[in-house]
Amino acid sequence: MIQLEHVTKRYGSKTILHDISFDVKKGEIVGFLGPNGAGKTTTMRMIAGFTTATTGTVRVAGFDMATQNDEAAKKIGYLPEQPPLYDILDVSSYLRFVARAKGIASVRIPGELDRVMQACRLETVTTKEIYKLSKGYRQRVGLAQALLGSPDVLLLDEPTAGLDPGQIQETREVIRNVGKEHAVLLSTHILPEVTLICQRIAIINHGRILAVGSPQSLQRAAEETSNVYAEARGDDASIHQALDAIDGVNGVVIKPLASRPGLFGIECQVSADEQIESHIARAVIAHGELHKLERRQPTLENVFLRYIGHAGAEGSATEAK
């Protein structure tokens, strides 16, 4: 339903996207993962038809976005990072306006409004002005307008940005449900987002697709980049040996701290075991003095590097299982 083939996007002399290729199938949610500024929004706007590729081909539902933009637009539901809402309208009036703008037949509009409001759980705020809604409800209204007309393709740009944990969970559930019948491309910079609701992921950074594969491989990469850092004093050889013996510690590096003579820093690559810090602390204390201990969560950058390692090991730099 979405197909990008060797797409490059330039603004003047600056290249924003470098020869990117990936696809999204019907009934599939694909996570488009990358840090802010990686090129996600530019790609989404290009798929939605707001801008065109400099080179390469973008197809939506079989239509070439360079020459058949009008036909393709009828197949697309788009939720940009800032939902296109009219604050002075109530929810029902706004969705009715969008339905008319999309060319939905008048006799179908009441049924369409009921369908999307139920899907997005908006039944309790149908007569409420949009400016009075919480950010979570505003995101749901934005998603509802994208769903009007049952488009084959849904483009969701950072749909959970700025939401609290409860709102994020509710929004994810809505997306998971609508993804059963649509081709969904969901852009995000949040690691758990794609592991929880997506069938596949495409990782982008600096305008380049680094890898396309399963959430399981991303989760594995994230776990392998998690580490515990400690600062200690004592017998470094004995501490190293004790840490190596801990189940769940996959690697240990000990280096002297130039800024703190007599102390050394310890980097432990660890599993997701929630008790691992206490095991490490006991091992260090048994052979010296523990001055600092902290769990360091994986960053997108080191997950990217680890993920590419998996892809390379499996025979491709851009496809991983």
Domain contains 316: no
60 shares its domain with 170: yes
Q: Give the N- to C-terminal CA distance of the chain in Å, as an integer.
A: 21
Q: How confident is the model at residue 316 (pLDDT cuts 50, 70, 90)?
A: very low
251 shares its domain with 198: no
**CB-based contact 167:139 (threshold 8 Å):** yes
Cα–Cα dist 214/31, whole Å? 10
Instruction: Single out the residue in 156, 191, 221 at which a domain terminates.
Output: 221
- Report the pLDDT value the prediction gives residue 93, as an integer from 0 to 100: 97
Q: Indicate the number of domains in the chain.
A: 2
Domain contains 311: no
Q: CA angle 8-27-58, nearest 5°?
A: 20
Q: How confident is the model at residue 313 (pLDDT cuts 50, 70, 90)?
A: very low
Looking up residue 270, the CATH number of its domain turns out to be 3.30.70.260
Of residues 272 and 31, more confidence is placed in 31
Structure tokens that stand for 180 in this block:
């059963």
In tens, the pLDDT along 246-280 reads: 988 888 999 999 888 899 999 998 876 668 899 99
H helix runs in 179-275, sequence order:
191-197, 215-224, 236-244
179 shares its domain with 70: yes
Of residues 214 and 50, more confidence is placed in 50
Domain contains 168: yes
Query: Exposed/middle/buried for 118, CB within 10 Å: 0-12, 13-18, 19+?
Result: exposed
In tens, the pLDDT along 198-210 reads: 999 898 888 999 8
Cα–Cα dist 53/255, whole Å? 49
Instruction: Single out the residue in 221, 236, 251 at which a domain terminates.
Output: 221
Domain contains 194: yes
**CB-based contact 97:86 (threshold 8 Å):** yes
In tens, the pLDDT along 47-106 reads: 999 999 999 999 999 999 999 999 999 999 999 988 889 999 999 999 999 999 999 999
In tens, the pLDDT along 111-134 reads: 999 999 998 889 999 999 999 998
215 shares its domain with 235: no
**3-state DSSP percent of the chain in helix, strand and coil, to 5:** 40, 30, 30
> By C-alpha distance, which of 92, 81, 84 is closest to 120?
92
Domain contains 127: yes
For the CA atoms of the chain, what is the radius of gyration? 24
Query: What's at 53, amino acid-wise?
Result: A
Backbone torsions φ then ψ of 84, nearest 5 degrees: -80, 75
97 shares its domain with 199: yes
Q: For residue 251, what are the contacts with CB-CB under 8 A and spacing of at least 6?
A: 267, 268, 269
> By C-alpha distance, which of 122, 137, 132 is closest to 89?
132
153 shares its domain with 281: no
235 shares its domain with 126: no
Domain contains 303: no
Q: How many CB atoms lie within 10 A of CB 160?
A: 22
Cα–Cα dist 169/267, whole Å? 33
Q: What order of strands is seen across the sheet that includes strand 76-79?
A: 76-79, 153-157, 183-188, 29-33, 200-205, 208-213, 319-320
- The mean pLDDT value of the chain amounts to 87
127 is in which domain, residue-wise?
Answer: 2-221
63 shares its domain with 192: yes
173 shares its domain with 110: yes
113 shares its domain with 41: yes
8-state DSSP, 203: E
Looking up residue 10, the CATH number of its domain turns out to be 3.40.50.300
217 shares its domain with 230: no
43 shares its domain with 86: yes
Domain contains 113: yes
Cα–Cα dist 138/156, whole Å? 14
Instruction: Single out the residue in 221, 245, 260 at which a domain terminates.
Output: 221
Q: For residue 157, what are the contacts with CB-CB under 8 A and spacing of at least 6?
A: 40, 41, 44, 78, 79, 80, 81, 187
Domain contains 306: no
